[in-house]
Structure 1
Amino acid sequence: MKQIQDAYIVAATRTPVAKRNGMFKSVRPDDMLAHVLKAVVAKVPGLDASEIGDVIVGCAMPEAEQGMNVARIGLLLAGLPNTVPGITINRFCSSGLQAVADAAARIRLGEADVMIAAGTESMSVMPQIMGNKISLNPAIFAHDENLAIAYGMGLTAEKVAQQWKVSREDQDAFAAESNRRAVAAIAAGAFKDEITPYLVSSYKPGEGGAVRVTERLCDTDEGPRADASPATLGKLKPVFAARGSVTAGNSSQMSDGAGAVLLMSEAAVKRYGVTPIARFRSYAVAGVPPEIMGIGPVEAIPRALKAAGIGQGELDWIELNEAFAAQALAVARQLDLDPAKVNPQGGAIALGHPLGATGAIRAATLMSAMQRGQARVGMISMCIGTGMGAAGVFERV
């Protein structure tokens, strides 16, 4: 029987996150993926890319431009060897984190020495967002117990707000603080090292039939708003329920982005002479009723901590995805999470949530914080559509 071995994160990077139909509106998700794959490999000079056992890519809506096994397409566009395989996985909002966990598992079992986990998502091109056909199973509507599967995420947030008594005022205050922290982090250059800038080219007709090319180097997250305050957010109307409390201002932003994480075994770390950033400690996923999907991390986080043998008090940094202020507050209160440790640089309300890419993107943020010495033990967690929660624990080496 093989002995479980450690899996180390040796590099991580991401694109800046764009608003839906923002600076990446003309950028394909497979190109975003290729960009971060190329960049993360370049972070380990001398790496023999043919050693990469697999490229596992999370994508929550693997259709259209991000369909057809976008993992394999992206790695080929990145110039990785033809011998490197790729697989696209989908666990909705935790897809990127699931990719990291799956890549780590392959290493821990001794099946690979080098793996890449990644995520990519363009909500600018996603068919569901653009109003195309949504093919829900008719059985969902035939039985009351299945109706919650068809709930919009906003309605589930309203139910969480009601059940856990999260007020509109608290949601708006939380959202304002998310923006404040993100704006401050950008101003301090906290995201600089984790972002690989993306050059966006635009083509327009010029004089005499010539094509005019304009280029923009995108190196900063597009979502954070310096003018967000409880007062300004309080003026927004609910968007999911007439008498509700969930608004566009206290919900995560629809976004475009990609992230990638390079993992190695101890043998590969020694062979390439690299200094690992962190050790993968554990991952857990749990199910909850679909109508209160936002509370999922309450079930997943204790499981992940137990598997890692780590007490909640040992966590220095918690990346808790802010799908909605209502659910993030409910989770934090239920588990008594330290507000100062939850999203110190802002969360998805300010920074955006490109669904299946978010886990990989937030991994890059956590790794950057660890490299700065701001965290010894960190966690990434999120709720998941249809009623699940996920959590991963990492320890700085």
Structure 2
Amino acid sequence: MTTLQQAYIVAATRSPIGKAPRGTLAHYRPDDLLATVLQGVLAQAPGLDPAAVEDVIVGCAIPEGPQGFNVARLGLLLAGLPDTVPGATVNRFCASGLTALAMAADRIRVGEADVMIAAGTESMSQVPIFGVTTTFSPRIFERDENLGIAYGMGQTAEQVAEQWKVSREDQDAFALQSHQRALAAQKAGEFNDEILPIEVMRRTPNLASEQVVETRKNFSLDEGPRPDTSMEALAKLKPVFAAKGSVTAGNSSQMSDGAGALLVVSERALKTHKLTPLARFVSFAVRGVPPQIMGIGPKFAIPEVLQRAGLKLDQMGWIELNEAFAAQSLAVIRDLNLNPQVVNPMGGAIALGHPLGATGAIRSATVVHALQRHKLDYGMVTMCVGTGMGAAGIFERV
């Protein structure tokens, strides 16, 4: 019988998150953005030869257009990794980045690899949220319980708000808190360890001089948090998905562009390459729920991942619960009796943004560095997933 190895994270980084479709990263190709964070995560392990990387697994929710054609392989080649390094792109919608990390950790745990990179990349500016050519088989809707797959994400949030009786006021208050926490964390420099500053170049035509003007910007902060947000401002926003609904643009996650990457290794690789671990990837779980209430997915993934890890909820010192919508976040928090103080202490996707397939990798980088910074033992990343799923992963500080 093969003895399972432990999987350790020795480096974790991410790009700043840009607002879509007209933010700082709107014209930054997602494959180039992936290449940038791959270079960044390897730079955090200077003693490691990039040729030692045995695979690069990348999450992407809409792998089309500039993030198609197996963006993992293209991104690693753009990053300058040797062509001996393979790459694979995986898609579990909003949990793609976390799934990529779990897959990389599994390869190490079963002894098939010693050095892996897990990542995620997504440009919602350049690739529409529903893709370009995606179509459903009509047969999927022959069963009434599958009709929710055709709902927009906001419609599913309205379903959750109604069934779990989450009021508009509570949703807006949650959204305001997300912005306030994110702004406070930015001011305190809490994101500095995880964010890789990026130089973004823009070329614009000057019609008067008939020349192309180049401008460069050092992009180092997520641009979603808004200091002018207030309960009064949020209350003025109209429902987007239902005429008499409660879900608005203000209490929903922001469309965003971003990428993240983590370097995952075995204990043998720690010794061979003289690497210092930041965290151990402990366990992963994913569960399905009815598509029309997809936002409640973490309610079922969290107990499962805790059971697999042999841990209890009160041992989680930090929980990154992806804020797809305030309605579903509050429903999960209330049903599982999560401690609000440990859920998204630096804000969540309502303020920081949600670049779909990259979010799992981005928020994993957040947890890994937060555990180190605050000397916490365990942390979790969890999210709801389109078409009706929930995913969760647990990390232990080393």
TM-score by length of 2: 0.97
User: Which residue in the other structure is 2:34 paired with?
Assistant: 33
Compute the displacement of 1:142 (Å). 4.5
Matched, 1:371 2:375: no
Q: How many residues align?
A: 396
| 1:154 correspondence with 2:186 | no
* Kept after mapping to 1: 8 A contact 2:318/2:371: no
Deviates more, 1:289-298 or 1:269-278: 269-278
Partner residue, 1:355? 356
Moved more, 103-112 or 369-378: 369-378
Task: Summarize deviations over 1:42-72 as a string: whole Å, max 9, x none.
Answer: 1001201111110000000000110000000
What per-residue deviation string (whole Å, max 9, x for no partner) do you get for residues 187-234 of structure 1?
111111111111111113357654321111111001001111222111
Partner of 2:261: 260
Partner amino acid, structure 1, of 2:178: S
SS in 2 for 1:372: helix
Give the match for residue 386 of structure 2: 385
CA distance in structure 1 between the aligned counterparts of 2:244 and 2:209, rounded to whole angstroms = 57
User: SS state of the match for residue 318, structure 1?
Assistant: strand
> d(CA) in 2 for partners of 1:209 and 1:19?
30
In structure 2, stretches of 5+ residues that fail to align are: none
C-alpha distance in structure 2 between counterparts of 1:302 and 1:145, whole Å:
24
**Partner residue in 1 for 2:200:** 200
| Partner secondary structure for residue 54 of structure 2 | strand
CA RMSD of aligned residues (A): 1.3
Structure 1 Cα separation of the partners of residues 335 and 72 of structure 2: 37
Q: Which residue pairs with 1:24 in the alignment?
A: 25
Matches within 5 A, 1:167-316: 167-206=167-206, 209-316=210-317
- How far is 1:272 from its partner? 1.8
The structure-2 alpha-carbon separation of the partners of 1:128 and 1:310, relative to structure 1 and needing over 3 Å to count, comes to closer
Task: Render the CA deviation track for 1:108-167: whole Å, top value 9, x for unaligned.
Answer: 00110000000000000113468x444122224444332111110001000101111100
Match of 1:144 in 2: 144
In structure 1, what is the Cα distance between the partners aligned to 2:139 and 2:43?
48
Q: Which amino acid aligns with 1:145?
A: E
Partner of residue 318, structure 1: 319
Task: Return 55-64 or 201-210, whichever deviates more.
Answer: 201-210
Cross-structure match for 2:135: 135
In structure 2, distance between residues paired with 1:84 and 1:17: 27
Give the corresponding residue for 1:340: 341
- Cα distance, 1:353 vs. partner? 0.2
Distance 1:241 1:308, change over 3 A: same
Change (3 A) 1:198 1:209: same
Asked if the contact 1:96/1:118 (under 8 Å) is kept, the reply is: yes
Instruction: Note the residue ranges of structure 1 that are not aligned, 5 or more in a row.
Output: none
Q: What's the CA shift for 1:390?
A: 0.2
* 1:376 positional shift: 1.4
Partner of 2:163: 163
User: Which moves more between the two structures, 153-162 or 197-206?
Assistant: 197-206
The answer (yes or no) to whether the contact 2:60–2:91 under 8 Å persists in 1 is: yes
Matched letter for residue 191 of structure 1: F
Secondary structure of 2:342's match?
A: coil
Contact 2:183 2:227 in 1 (8 A): yes
The residue type paired with residue 170 of structure 2 is: D
Does 2:3 correspond to 1:3?
yes
Partner of 1:113: 114
SS at match of 2:82: coil
Do the aligned partners of residues 208 and 169 (structure 1) sit closer, same or farther apart at CA in structure 2, a change above 3 Å counting? closer
> Aligned partners of 2:173 and 2:374: how far apart in 1?
29
C-alpha spacing 1:128/1:172, structure 2 compared with 1 (3 Å): closer
SS in 2 for 1:227: coil
Amino acid of the residue matched to residue 106 of structure 2? A
Distance 1:242 1:117 in 2: 41
- Partner residue in 2 for 1:330: 331
SS of 1:214's equivalent in the other structure is strand
Q: Quick one: which amino acid aligns to residue 135 of structure 2?
A: S
Per the alignment, do residues 93 and 128 of structure 1 end up closer, same or farther by CA in structure 2, a change over 3 Å counting?
closer
Three-state SS of the structure 2 residue aligned to 1:328 is helix
TM-score (norm 1): 0.97
Paired-residue identity, %: 64
Counterparts of 2:375 and 2:177, CA distance in 1: 20
User: How many Å separate the matches in 2 of 1:178 and 1:210?
Assistant: 43
Does the 8 Å CA contact 2:47/2:274 hold for their aligned counterparts? no
Q: State the 1:271 CA deviation.
A: 1.5
Q: 1:370 to 1:61 in 2, by over 3 A?
A: same
Give the aligned partner of residue 64 of structure 2: 63
